[in-house]
Amino acid sequence: MTSPSTLTRSAEQLHTAVRWTRAQWLLLMVVCTVLALDGLDVSMVGVALPSIGHELHLGTDSLQWIVSAYVLGYGSLLLLGGRLADLLGRRRIFLIALTVFAAASLLGGLVNDPTLLIATRFVKGLAAAFTAPTGFSIITTNFAEGRERNKALSIFTTFGASGFSLGLVVGGS
C-alpha cells in the first residue's frame, strides 16, 4: 500500500514545472523547426503538384517522381543518419544536413527543368534523413531523462506533425 507521504511527493512532482535554460529552449526550437520543415516539405508538394505539372508541362508519371524522390532519399538513409550522427558528432551532422537541405531547397525553387527538380527533391530527402534522427538524438542527450526529456520529445513530435499538417494548407495557397 502506498503511504500518504509518497502520494504527497508524487502530487508535488506532477505540479513541478520543467525548467530549461535559454540554451535548451533555443536548441529545442531549432531542432523542432527543422523537423517541421521536413514534414512541411513532404506534404506541401502533394498539394502543389497540379501547379507544378502545369508550369513545367509534366505528365502524371513525372509528377509522381517529384514526391517519390524525396521519400526515397529520406527512407533510404534514415537509419544511417542516426548512426553517423553518433559516430561523427550530432551537431556537425545536423548542421551539414541542414545546410544541404537549405541549398537543395533554394536550388529546387530556382530550376525550370523537371529532372533537376526531381534531383533536388531527392537531395532534400537525403538531408532530412539526417536531420530527423539527429534532432531526436540531440534532444535525448541534452535533456535529462524523465519529465524534462518527455516534454521536449512531445514538443518535438508535435512540431513534426504540425509541419505535415501545415504543408497541406500552405501547399494549396
Q: Provide the CATH number for the domain around residue 70.
A: 1.20.1250.20
- Banded model confidence at residue 128, pLDDT cuts 50, 70, 90: very high
Who has greater pLDDT, 149 or 173?
149
Grid coordinates standing for 31?
Answer: 531542432
% of residues, the chain, pLDDT over 70: 90
Mean pLDDT on 132-152: 95
Query: Residue with C-alpha cell 517529384?
Result: 66
- Banded model confidence at residue 141, pLDDT cuts 50, 70, 90: very high
> Total domain count for the chain?
1
Give me the pLDDT at residue 31, please. Answer: 97
Write the secondary structure of 18-36 as one string of H (helix), E (strand) and C (coil): CCCCHHHHHHHHHHHHHHH
Cβ atoms 156, 33 nearer than 8 A: no
Query: Mind listing the pLDDT tens digit for each residue in 89-124?
Result: 999 999 999 999 999 999 999 999 999 999 999 999
3 within domain boundaries: no
* Residue partners of 84: CB distance under 8 A and separation at least 6: 93, 130
115 within domain boundaries: yes
With 0.75 as the threshold, say if the pTM is over it: yes
With the CA atoms of 151, 155, 157 and 163 taken in that order, what torsion angle do they form, in degrees rounded to the nearest 10?
Answer: 180
Give me the pLDDT at residue 4, please. Answer: 58
Supply the range of the domain harboring residue 139.
22-170
Grid coordinates standing for 79?
Answer: 537509419
154 within domain boundaries: yes
27 within domain boundaries: yes
Give me the pLDDT at residue 46, please. Answer: 86
